[in-house]
Amino acid sequence: MLSRSPLAAAIRALRAELSGGPPADLGRDVRELEELLAERERRRFSALRVPAEQELLAALPDAAALISRDGWVRASNAAFDTLAASGRAAGLTPLEITRSAELSEAVKRALEGTARRLELPIQRRTYLAALSPLLRGEVLVLLRDVTDARRAEATRRDFVANASHELRTPIAAIRAAAETLLSGAVEDPAAGRAFVEIVARHAERLSRLTQDLLDLSRIESRQWTFELAPVGVGALARQVLELFASAARAKGLALRAEVPAGAVVRADGRALEQVLVNLVDNAVKYTAAGSVTVSAARDGDAWVVSVADTGPGIERHHLPRLFERFYRVDSGRSRDQGGTGLGLAIVKHLVQGMGGEVGVESGAGGTRLWARLPAA
């Protein structure tokens, strides 16, 4: 420790210098103290700098890393570390971590001072990469996972395109019939009636399509409130089959309900009714002869409610996509039957909203669509 006299002398000399006197001679001991204090501050700053960087990177919602001048990761957050096979990105190059030559090239350009922003695939996901050169020659890399967002955008585009296509046909038919009527066909009772029937038929199709679109939108946006309670499957099945008795009789189809008396599920009665209506409606439309049967079977802590027909069956390659919006096994035949292509999509969303699952089995002997719902 310095004695009090050299320190006091140094203080007096500094005061004299600051008051306009000659330069102060602080002495060897005081100069050494000055150097030691400066070194202590440098070490303290160096020790605090890395944790501060880590704290900033950890606060970012995206995968983030600092790339050194030599091209390897100097610091990274947990999201970026998950991209590395070892679970730790530090000390590796972006190419070693992501196997993306495009990202590696972008890092090189950024190290040369050129900021980059690009979208690229990494490990079967899609990322929006932003690379920003820093003042000390390093590069900040941010990777935002936009896989789900891009998938949602594609789904929306497909939905708009499909909806537009479905709306175009009935609108064109109504317009053509109306123009024909206005051009003089209205004066001919027989011809006029035929064109009015065309308008009525396609207006009904538009109405069904609009209602299905609204129902699907309400379900997907969670505006459809599910009120779950015990629902007896047998009574509901008989009510639904009664709705299609006339259509089935006209085609010579037998409608059957084979539901045990104790089949009670925990469901929304209104939603389950719509599920059965959509499934029975499809079965009656596409079955030329034979029968349509609604049944239920216990499966552990659930009931499997099925609608089976004796129709021509569905080819195996169609089955995985059967519950997609606007997907049709036979587009022309489905439209002729008045289908909107949304019925099974609505069924899937309703059943999932009630905590269940749907499925389909089909072969040469017919098709069976089922919904598995919790037992009450």
Q: Give yes or no: residues 176 and 308 share one domain.
A: no
Q: How do residues 205-259 score in pLDDT, each as one tens digit?
A: 788 778 777 877 777 777 778 889 999 999 999 999 999 999 999 999 999 999 9
Residue span of the structural domain in which 161 resides: 150-220
Query: For the domain that residue 214 is a member of, what is the CATH number?
Result: 1.10.287.130
Task: State the total domains in the chain.
Answer: 4
CA proximity to 120, closest of 59, 60, 73, 63: 63
Cβ burial of 48 (10 Å; 0-12, 13-18, 19+) is exposed
* Pairing relationship of beta strands 290-299 and 264-267 according to DSSP bridges: unpaired
Q: Give yes or no: residues 170 and 132 share one domain.
A: no
Give the lowest-confidence range in 67-71, 173-177, 356-360: 173-177
Query: For the domain that residue 69 is a member of, what is the CATH number?
Result: 3.30.450.20
Q: Give yes or no: residues 233 and 369 share one domain.
A: yes
Mean pLDDT, the chain, rounded, equals 86
Domain boundary among 145, 171, 205: 145
Domain boundary among 220, 249, 280: 220
Q: Give yes or no: residues 175 and 284 share one domain.
A: no
* Pairing relationship of beta strands 290-299 and 253-258 according to DSSP bridges: parallel
Q: Give yes or no: residues 13 and 40 share one domain.
A: yes
Query: For the domain that residue 240 is a member of, what is the CATH number?
Result: 3.30.565.10
CA-CA distance, 201 to 3, in Å (whole number)? 108
Q: What is the pLDDT of residue 333?
A: 47
Q: Which amino acid, residue 175?
A: R
Q: How do residues 183-207 score in pLDDT, each as one tens digit?
A: 887 788 888 888 888 888 888 878 8
Q: How do residues 261-298 score in pLDDT, each as one tens digit?
A: 999 999 999 899 989 999 999 899 889 899 999 999 99
